[in-house]
Amino acid sequence: MATNPSLVSVETGAGKFQQTVRVGKHVFLADEPESFGGTDSGPSPYDLLLAALGTCTSMTMKMYADRKGIPLEAVHIVLEHSRDHVEDCRSCNNEDNRIDVIDRSIILQGDLSEEQRRKLLEIAEKCPVHRTLENRIDIHTTEVRD
């Protein structure tokens, strides 16, 4: 059994792709951009994935800095998802030799030494969502009938 499981509920909304997402007391929409046939009424699934990584990274770095007395004033993270096609992909788990890539750019604000900056970037690699995305993930699907 996973520790601290997070329960998220998703159900179809209006239009072709819109979804209503419920996380605890929070309710928001997810959708696809108009260019993909959606109504752009909320972030896309990949936007949400990047947001999860970005928020976890920033929170982890800030928590570490606060604990160690590092004068980190703010963290700004920009993330982008893309796919690389590789000729000789030994670790690919799909037939078309595709590797998903997330580029993460981090701006650290504060009167930080080079050593503090290096340590904070090292800590960024250790955020729980980062570790989850680098792990093998098994997804178990069960149909539940009313």
Average pLDDT over residues 50-63: 98
Mean pLDDT, to the nearest integer, of 24-37? 94
Decide if pLDDT at 33 tops 70.
yes
| The one-letter amino acid at 84 | D
Least confident piece of the model among 32-36, 98-102, 114-118, 133-137: 98-102
Task: For residue 65, give both structure tokens.
Answer: 């800095």
Looking at the DSSP assignment, which residues form a beta bridge with residue 118? none
Nearest to 35 by CA among 22, 44, 26: 44
Read off the pLDDT of each residue in 120-140 and give the average, rounded to a whole number. 94
- Identify the pLDDT of residue 84: 77
Q: Determine whether domain 44-134 maps to CATH 3.30.450.20.
A: no
pLDDT of residue 90: 57
User: Residue 40 corresponds to which amino acid?
Assistant: D
> What global pTM score does this model have?
0.85
Question: Average pLDDT over the chain, rounded to whole?
Answer: 90
Alpha-carbon dihedral of residues 46, 51, 56, 62, nearest 10 degrees? 150
Residues in a beta bridge with 39: none
Domain ranges of the chain: 1-43, 44-134
pLDDT at 65 over 80: yes
Residue 41: pLDDT over 50: yes
